[in-house]
Amino acid sequence: MAQLVLVPSTLELSAIGKPCFKPQTQCCMVNSTTLNLRTSKFPLKKVTFQRQKPLRSLTVCATTLPIGQDAPPQPTNGFDQSYRDSSKRKRVMVIGGDGYCGWATALHLSKKNYEVAIVDNLIRRTFDLQLGLDSLTPIASIHDRVSRWKSLTGKNIELYIGDICDFEFFSAAFKSFEPDTVVHFGEQRSAPYSMMDRPRALFTQSNNVIGTLNVLFAIKEFNEDCHMVKLGTMGEYGTPNIDIEEGYITITHNGRTDTLPYPKQANSFYHLSKVHDSNNIHFSCKTWGIRATDLNQGVVYGVRTDETDMHEELCNRLDYDGVFGTALNRFCVQAAVGHPLTVYGKGGQTRGYLDIRDTVQCMELAIANPAKPGEFRVFNQFTEQFSVRDLATLVSKAGEKLGIDVKTITVPNPVSKMRSTITMLSALSLSRLHLMAHIFITSYLYFLDNVACCFAENVDWVRICPSKSLKKCKARPKLAQ
C-alpha cells in the first residue's frame, strides 16, 4: 500500500548568548489508519535569530512612533478606557503568526510600536508538503522573516516555535512573554481540508478546539486581564435567509423576548470547530470574567501591506488551489495565465470581502479598544459584499483594462443544498471605531497586475481549478500514488 512519508529537515538554530538546540519535527505518515500532524516537544526557548550571511543594504522610508509611545488612541465609544491609559508599550502575542493573516498582523502591530511575539508550530508549511501545494508568491522561512524585519526596522519580534495544543509549551511561552493581548490565528482554517477524510476532520476538530481551550485556560491561570482577540468566520452561521447580526440576535417567542447567540449552521467540520470555539469563549467570559473579541471575517484578499512590501523576504503567501485558496485568488491567477474563470454553479453565493490591509486595521482597532472583563463581543469583519458571479465580472473588466481576454465557465458547486445568496448587516462595531476601508476594485486591479501576472510562471496548472468536493469526505486518507 502506498504511503506518503514526510521527513522535514532538522534546523540548527543559534540563539544569541544561549546554547544551540535542534527542534525536531516528527514524520507525518499518511496511511489507512493514522495521520499524525503534531510536532515533537522540545525545551522552550525565547529565540533571537542571527543570520550568518551578510544582508543586502536597503533604504526604507517608514514613519514609526517614538520608542515608548503607544499606538494612537481610538475613540472610546463605550469600550474599556483603562486598558489604554497605561504608559507602557502593549505586549501582543500572535498565535499563528507565520500564516497569511497572522504574519501581516504581526508586522503591522510591530510597526505601530506594540511589543510582538509570534507563536507557531509551522504546520501550515507541512500541509503544503503533504498535498503538493505551494504559495504563488515565494515565502521565506519564519526565521529569515523575523531577522529581516529587525534588520530593516530595528524592531524585535520574539519567536516561540511549538504547538499550543501542548499546554506545557504554551503556558511556558505565555508566562515568558506576559502578553496584554493574545491574537489567535492558530487554527486549521480550510473547509475543504477538513472534509477530505476522517483523519483530517479529527485533526481540525482537536487542533482548533483544544488549542483555543488552552489559550483560555492560560489567560485564566496566568493573567485574567489579558484580552483575547479571536479570528472567527462568517461561515459558521451558514446561509440563513435573514441578516446576520454581530454575534447575538433578539427574538420574541410566545410573547417573551430574549437576546441569544446568533444560530450557527456550519457546513463543514472546520466551521463546526469555529462553533465550538465561540461557545467555549462565551462560556469562559461569563464564568471566569475573561475579556474576548471574536472577529468574524469575510473572505480576505490581497497580499501586500505597507510592511510586507518593504522587502521580498517579508512577502505574504497567496494560495490559489482548491484546498486553501479562495475563489477570488483562483480567478486572479486564472485570468493572469489565460485560463477561463471557474464559477460554482450559477455563481449566486454571496460573501463579505475585505482587503488584507483592512484585516490588520481591524485587529489593531480591536486591540486598542478591548472588551470589558466578562464580555464576549462579536464584530462582523468585512467591508463589501459580492457574489461569485460579481467577482467574475469584476475580474473580466479588470482584465480588459490590462489587455487580458478573460472568459468564464461554470463548474459544479462543491457544497450541496446550500442557499445561493446571503444577506448580511454592515460591520457596525468596526464602523464606530472608524475603520478606513480600502475600495475593492482599485485594490484588485493592483493585485491582478502586480502579483498574479508577475508570478504567473509559478502557477501549477494541475492546482488551478477547484477539485475538492465537500460532499465526498472519506473515512480513509487519500494515499500518494
pLDDT at residue number 78: 43
Tell me the average pLDDT across 359-385: 92
Which is more confidently placed, 141 or 456? 141
Please state, in angstroms and rounded to a whole number, the distance separating the CA atoms of residues 209 and 281: 10
Query: Of the candidates 279, 171, 161, 157, which has an alpha carbon nearest to the alpha carbon of residue 215?
Result: 171
Phi then psi dihedrals of residue 294, to 5 deg: -110, 115
| Per-residue CA distances from 5 to 207, 310, 370, 399 (Å) | 21, 37, 44, 41
One-letter identity of residue 404: I
pLDDT band at 85 (very low <50, low <70, confident <90, very high): low
Residue 50 resides in a domain: no
| Per-residue CA distances from 265 to 7, 169, 273 (Å) | 38, 34, 12
pLDDT higher than 70, residue 17: no
Query: Of the candidates 17, 152, 168, 173, which has an alpha carbon nearest to the alpha carbon of residue 91?
Result: 173
Residue 115 resides in a domain: yes
Residue 450 resides in a domain: yes
| Per-residue CA distances from 418 to 96, 339, 470, 471 (Å) | 30, 27, 12, 12
pLDDT at residue number 360: 94
Residue 284 resides in a domain: yes
Residue 348 resides in a domain: yes
423 flagged as catalytic: no
Task: Count up the domains in the chain and report the number.
Answer: 1
**226 SS3 class:** coil
The CATH number given to whatever domain includes residue 128 is: 3.40.50.720
Angle between helices 100-111 and 142-153 (to 10 degrees): 20
Q: Which grid cell sits at 106?
A: 504581526
pLDDT higher than 50, residue 166: yes
Q: Which of 233, 239, 305, 350 is catalytic?
A: 233
pLDDT at residue number 374: 97
Please state, in angstroms and rounded to a whole number, the distance separating the CA atoms of residues 473 and 420: 22
Q: Which of 114, 262, 270, 301 is catalytic?
A: 270
375, 285 in Cβ contact below 8 A? yes
pLDDT higher than 60, residue 367: yes
Please state, in angstroms and rounded to a whole number, the distance separating the CA atoms of residues 61 and 107: 16
Please state, in angstroms and rounded to a whole number, the distance separating the CA atoms of residues 412 and 418: 12
pLDDT at residue number 22: 32
Digit-coded pLDDT (tens) for 124-162: 999 999 999 999 999 999 999 999 999 999 999 999 999
Q: Which grid cell sits at 48?
A: 533571537
pLDDT at residue number 431: 63
Residue 46 resides in a domain: no
Digit-coded pLDDT (tens) for 209-257: 999 999 999 999 999 999 999 998 888 888 888 888 888 899 999 999 9
pLDDT at residue number 242: 83
Which is more confidently placed, 318 or 452? 318
pLDDT band at 103 (very low <50, low <70, confident <90, very high): very high
pLDDT band at 70 (very low <50, low <70, confident <90, very high): very low
Query: Of the candidates 472, 185, 182, 136, which has an alpha carbon nearest to the alpha carbon of residue 332?
Result: 136
* Domain extent for 428: 4-31+89-463
Q: What is the mean pLDDT of the chain?
A: 79
Residue 216 resides in a domain: yes
Please state, in angstroms and rounded to a whole number, the distance separating the CA atoms of residues 316 and 139: 7
Residue 395 burial (C-beta neighbours within 10 Å; 0-12, 13-18, 19+): buried
446 flagged as catalytic: no
270 flagged as catalytic: yes
CA angle (255, 256, 259) in 5-degree steps: 140
Q: Taking the complete model, does pTM exceed 0.85, yes or no?
A: no
437, 358 in Cβ contact below 8 A? yes
Digit-coded pLDDT (tens) for 274-315: 999 999 999 999 999 999 999 988 888 888 999 999 999 999
Q: Which of 45, 90, 274, 468 is catalytic?
A: 274
93, 109 in Cβ contact below 8 A? no
pLDDT at residue number 467: 65
Residue 122 resides in a domain: yes
Angle between helices 356-368 and 100-111 (to 10 degrees): 60
CA 481 distance to own-chain centroid: 31
Digit-coded pLDDT (tens) for 428-446: 565 666 667 777 766 777 7
Which is more confidently placed, 206 or 397? 206
